[in-house]
Chains A and B, each alone.
Chain A
Amino acid sequence: MKYMMFVCTDTEPDTDQVAGPDIEVWVSENDARGRRLEGSVLAPPSAATTVRVRNGQLLVSDGPFTETKEVIVGYDLLECADLDEAIEMARAHPMARSGRLELRPLADLDDRRRD
Chain B
Amino acid sequence: MTDVRAAATADAVAAASEDAYARIVAALIRVTGDWTLAEDCAQEAMALALQRWPQQGVPDNPGGWLMTVARNRAIDVLRRASVERRKLAELAVLALADPGSAQAAAEEEVVDDRLRLIFTCCHPALSMEARVALTLRTIGGVPTADIARAFLVSESAMTRRLTRAKTRIAEAGIPYRVPTGPALAERLPGVLAVLYLLFTHGYNAAGRPAFADEAIRLARLLRQLMPGQGEVSALLALFLFQHSRRDARRDGHGNLLTLDRQDRHRWDHAAIAEGLRLLAGTPQDGPYALQARIAACHATAASVEATDWPAIATCYDRLARIQPSPVIELNRAVAHGYAHGPAAGLALLAQARAGGALDDYPPAVAAEADLTARHGDRDRAAALFRQAAAVAHSEPERRALLERAGELLGGDDRTRRPPSG
Contact = CB atoms under 8 A, between A and B. Distances in A.
6 contacts: A82-B174, A82-B177, A84-B179, A88-B183, A103-B172, A105-B173
Q: Number of contact residues on A: which range applies? A: 10 to 19
Interface stretch (A15-23, A54-62, A107-115): A107-115
A87 B170 CA distance: 16
A89 interface: no
Contacts of A86: 173
B33 A115 contact: yes
A105 B171 contact: yes
Interface of A: 1, 3, 80-84, 86-88, 103, 105, 107, 112-113, 115
B176 to A, nearest CB: 9
A83 B170 contact: no
Given A113-B33, A115-B33, A81 B171 contact: no
Contacts of B177: 82, 84
Contacts, number: 33
A82 B33 contact: no
Contacts of B33: 113, 115
Contact of B172 (A81, A105, A115): A105
Interface of B: 33-34, 123, 125, 170-175, 177, 179, 183
A82 B183 CA distance: 14
B173 A82 contact: yes
Contacts of B171: 105, 107, 112
B122 to A, nearest CB: 13
A81 B175 contact: yes
A82 B175 contact: yes
A112 B170 contact: yes
Contacts of B34: 113
